[in-house]
Amino acid sequence: MNSLLVTSDGSHTLFNPEIGEHFHSTFGAVTESEHIFIRAGLDVIPSKIKPIKLLEIGLGTGLNALLALRWAEKHKREVNYFAVEAFPLEKEVLSNLNYGDILGIDWEKFLAIHSAMNKKVRVSQYFTIEYQYATLQEAAFLPETYHLVFFDAFSPDVQPEMWTEDCFLKIAASMKRGGVLTTYSCKGIVKRALKSAGFQIEKLPGPPGKREFLRAVKG
């Protein structure tokens, strides 16, 4: 059973005992996600792109989606969010997470994010979401569709099958040319797999507790 932990910025994360890893950084779950996925991801998408089509690999707790929802409403820019999740969390687990309180977002919107299995749900004027109940290997993506990808699987140490060249080739095929992918991992095998899949990569300074992370652009 996943156990709850309060991270350094007061926001929650979960520990998965089967995998042996936390869902988010213990140095600050919200802080990490804001840094890697919002500031290095959504903030760099040109304003002319409407709507932004965003793919997340690993919906997990829904924190990244909730932050994207808040960003969309703040900037009044439409975001169409699509995610893949093979192990959806139960409502009882989700109800204990404090992201809505931390971010000032209604619990009903957080719940709506997690109700979008295999169907599109409009959470607000500026945000729709749908997620596939599938593994990355099983998932079906439209070609040349996404402007931005949040890659937030468990680490390559425990889920090496998620970080292969084949996986990144599949993701690249679903992205627009010039599309951006952000991920917290900066391991050599990840950099090599991204490069082999045709991405141009850059290392950026990391959030608290992490030296650096990766942003990649589809060439």
Cα–Cα distance for residue pair 64/37, rounded to 1 Å: 7
- 205 preceded by cis ω (within 30°)? no
Residue 2 reports pLDDT greater than 90: no
> What is the token pair recorded at 23?
């869902």
Cα–Cα distance for residue pair 49/13, rounded to 1 Å: 32
Distance of CA 116 to the CA centre of its chain: 15
Reported as a single tens digit per residue, the pLDDT across 14-66 is 999 999 999 999 999 999 999 999 999 999 999 999 999 999 999 999 999 99
Please state, as a whole number, how many other Cβ atoms lie within 10 Å of the Cβ of residue 169. Answer: 14
Cα–Cα distance for residue pair 22/67, rounded to 1 Å: 19
Q: Locate the domains of the chain by residue range.
A: 29-218
* DSSP assignments along 28-57, one per residue: -HHHHHIIIIIITTGGGS-TT--SEEEEEE
Reported as a single tens digit per residue, the pLDDT across 131-151 is 999 999 999 999 999 999 999
Distance of CA 187 to the CA centre of its chain: 18
Reported as a single tens digit per residue, the pLDDT across 167-208 is 999 999 999 999 999 999 999 999 999 999 999 999 999 999
Indicate the CATH number for domain 29-218: 3.40.50.150
